Amino acid sequence: MAFDSFSAFLAMGGHGPYVWACYAMFFLLMGVVIWWSLRQRRVVIAQQQRRAAPMPSADERPTASFTRIESSQD
């Protein structure tokens, strides 16, 4: 399809606003998908690095203390 001028190309026979809005939405959503994917990738890598980190030895682990709680049920 040939256009006489650049403004005719932008107008696209009256369909320009719809066509350019579709292109804008496509590129916006693709940008969001790329951003979200990169963000999720960083999160997964960080989780896996924490999971693969060496566990502290038994001497270095914090100890748990338990205290008995008296119930007030009659």
The Cα–Cα gap between 29 and 38 comes to: 14
Q: Is the pTM of this model over 0.75?
A: no
DSSP letter assigned to residue 56: P
Q: What is the DSSP letter of 13?
A: G
DSSP symbol at 9: H
pLDDT tens by residue, 19-32: 999 999 999 999 99
User: Which whole number is the average pLDDT over 52-74?
Assistant: 74
pLDDT exceeding 70 applies to what percent of the chain?
Answer: 86
**Residue 64 DSSP symbol:** P
Task: Give the ranges where 1-74 is alpha helix by DSSP (H).
Answer: 6-11, 16-52
User: Model confidence over 35-50: pLDDT tens digits?
Assistant: 999 999 999 999 999 8
